[in-house]
C-alpha cells in the first residue's frame, strides 16, 4: 500500500500553515488511487472545493499519479509520502 498526504497551502508556501485535505491511497502497485478526505477538512469553510480539486489532480495524473503528484510544481499543493502501518504493527 502506498499513501500520499495531500496538503493545501493557502498562503503560497511562504512558510508555516497548510491544510491536510486528505490522503491518496493505492492498495496495490497497479491499483487505482482512492482519495480519503481528512477529518480536519470538515472544519473548513470550503471543504467541497478543496476536495474536488484534489480529486481532479489525482484523475488528471492518471496511472502514474503516485510519482507525478510528488513532483507536481504548484504554489498551493504538495504531496508527501507517508508510511503505512501493517496490521501486525510494523511498516508495510
* Environment class of 2 (CB within 10 Å of its CB; exposed 0-12, middle 13-18, buried 19+): middle
- Checking if the pLDDT of 90 tops 70, the result is no
SS3 assignment, position 20: strand
Q: What is the pLDDT of residues 27-44, one digit of tens each?
A: 877 778 999 999 877 777
pTM: 0.81
pLDDT at 29: 74
Question: What are the sequence ranges of the domains in the chain?
Answer: 2-81
Query: Strand runs (DSSP E) across 1-92, as ranges?
Result: 2-8, 19-26, 33-37, 77-81
Residue the block writes with cell 502501518: 85
Confidence of residue 61 (pLDDT cuts 50, 70, 90): confident
Scored b (16 or more CB within 10 A) or e, 6-34 reads bbbbeeeeeeeebbebbbbbbeeeeeebe
Amino acid at each position: 500500500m502506498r499513501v500520499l498526504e495531500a496538503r493545501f497551502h493557502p498562503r503560497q508556501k511562504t512558510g508555516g500553515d497548510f491544510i491536510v485535505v486528505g490522503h491518496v491511497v493505492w492498495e496495490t502497485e497497479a491499483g487505482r488511487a482512492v482519495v480519503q478526505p481528512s477529518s480536519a477538512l470538515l472544519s473548513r469553510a470550503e471543504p467541497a472545493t478543496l476536495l474536488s480539486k484534489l480529486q481532479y489532480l489525482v484523475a488528471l495524473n492518471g496511472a502514474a499519479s503516485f510519482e507525478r503528484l510528488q513532483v507536481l510544481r504548484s504554489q498551493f499543493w504538495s504531496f508527501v509520502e507517508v508510511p503505512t502501518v501493517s496490521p501486525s504493527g510494523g511498516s508495510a
